Amino acid sequence: MLIYLRVLKESFFFALNALRTNLLRTFLSLLGVTIGIFAIISILAAVDSLEREFRDGLSSLDISTIYVTSRSFAPTELEPYQYENFPNVSYEEFEMLESSMEDIDVITYTVFSGPENIKFEDNTATNVSIIPGTDSYYDIENLKLEDGRFFNGAESNNGSPVTVLGYEVAKSLFGDSDPIGKRVRLYGNKFTVIGVLEKVGQGLSVGPPKDGSAYVPVSFVRKIYGDNNRSRLPAVIVKPKKDVDQDEFVATLEQKLRLYRGLKRGELSTFFINPIKGLSDLLDTVTSTLTLVGAVIAGFSVLVGGFGIANIMFVSVKERTNLIGIQKSLGAKSRFILSQFLFESIILALFGGLFGLLFVWVASIIANSSTEDFTFVLSSSNVLLGTSISAIIGLIAGIVPAIIAARLDPVEAIRTGM
């Protein structure tokens, strides 16, 4: 056992010495692997970071949450002409589901609307995402208040002119002063500020960012725009109780809506039921596809780096043919010659991979310092993957030249070298 360790040790240091004596060639070989590992790991890390950001955005919603709308959140088999004239989900349908559906934990009615400006005296918050909802919207979104309160059931039903502001909206309108009880102008009306949400921070999320939003009773928006305004998309959001079979729950939900709309057996459902779980599954599909495509594209860079190392190793065997013959004539075993060139190839690839990982790490620091909206993360699994790929490249690229060197006849090798 000790003799094998000694052979490995001598092969290792011999390989290092060979790399040191050909610094330019070593650098050029390193460059190919470095670029390849940088490309593949940066793509994988970017996809992982993107997926993490989206999952953090989904975390505010229970995975069992269901959106009922006249539009599908995911690709659908229906043709546009089939669903373009679907009627909007009505407030009456929301009330019907609220009163008749069992196993509901929380249900709310909302309207997806465009951004608006909110004014307070001389200050204006622009492009604020207005989120109309019933009082239960607070529980659906797991909102957290920094100050004040959310609107209650009576204010929601009556469409009272009250609002709860996101953190950044409140800051831009009131600065450090207390906004509670102040009146702001929205939709050409005066709204009383009754609450301010905790700061959430930037990042990818499902729906508009909470910090830049304002929440108002949905009945107030219904008074302004009516229930059939095609520029506004109403939705019923339902969260079933825990341990409820979601497939059965969705089937019951669909049946009740079909009966309410008078749809007969065989007729197309004129609404879409969009589970958040479907978004999560779609995200898995998209990230898997991105990872595969990115890995294939970056794999070509790795392949080029591997060819570069193989080429250098063939040249190295050619240059050291005489030395190989001398070593074998002095008693060096074939396995010593084999391990010597394999070590040289693997070390070369590993150094290239480590430099590639170093550049990815530096790039992640620069990316994170230049933006607050996205966090680029280089995970330990990607570091391990990059190191493993480098070692495999070195092994594959060096195996053939190493075998050729190990099989050289000492006499012929010395004669060829001379």
What sign does the dihedral 17-18-21-25 (CA atoms) show?
negative
Q: Are residues 44 and 99 in the same domain?
A: no
In this predicted structure, what is the pLDDT of residue 132?
93
Residue 69 in any domain: the answer is: no
What whole-number percentage of the chain has pLDDT above 70? 85
CA distance 58 to 53: 9
Q: Are residues 261 and 297 in the same domain?
A: no
**Count of residues for the chain?**
418
Please tell me the total count of domains within the chain: 2
Q: Could you tell me the two tokens for 310?
A: 């193989």
Q: Are residues 176 and 303 in the same domain?
A: no
DSSP secondary structure letter of residue 273: E
Q: Are residues 297 and 404 in the same domain?
A: yes
Q: Are residues 208 and 308 in the same domain?
A: no
Neighbouring-strand partners of residue 164: 195, 215
Question: 10 Å Cβ neighbour count for 82?
Answer: 12
Q: Which residues contact 210 (CB under 8 A, 6 or more apart)?
A: 141, 143, 166, 167, 197, 200
Candidate from 18-32, 49-63, 93-107 with smallest mean pLDDT: 49-63
Give the global pTM.
0.63
> What are 203-232's pLDDT values in tens digits?
545 567 788 899 999 999 888 887 777 678
Residue 337 in any domain: the answer is: yes
Residue 142 in any domain: the answer is: yes
Q: Could you tell me the two tokens for 241?
A: 């109780």
Of 216, 240, 270, at which residue does a domain stop?
Answer: 270
Q: Are residues 95 and 118 in the same domain?
A: yes
Q: Are residues 154 and 232 in the same domain?
A: yes
Q: Which of 229, 209, 207, 206 is closest to 218 using CA atoms?
A: 229
What sign does the dihedral 91-92-93-99 (CA atoms) show?
positive
> Which carries the bigger pLDDT value, residue 314 or residue 157?
157
Of 248, 270, 292, at which residue does a domain stop?
Answer: 270
Residue 358 in any domain: the answer is: yes
CA distance 310 to 25: 12
Residue 379: domain span: 2-57+282-417
Q: Are 71 and 223 in contact (CB under 8 A)?
A: no
Q: Which residues contact 129 (CB under 8 A, 6 or more apart)?
A: 115, 208, 209, 212, 213, 214
Counting Cβ atoms within 10 Å, is residue 85 exposed (0-12), middle (13-18) or buried (19+)? Answer: exposed
> Which carries the bigger pLDDT value, residue 1 or residue 197?
197
Alpha carbon distance, N-terminus to C-terminus of the chain:
36
pLDDT band at residue 259 using 50, 70 and 90 as cut-offs: very high
Mean pLDDT, the chain, as a whole number? Answer: 80
Q: Which residues contact 209 (CB under 8 A, 6 or more apart)?
A: 129, 166, 200, 202
Q: Could you tell me the two tokens for 63?
A: 């995975």
Q: Could you tell me the two tokens for 286?
A: 């998209």
> Which carries the bigger pLDDT value, residue 98 or residue 332?
98
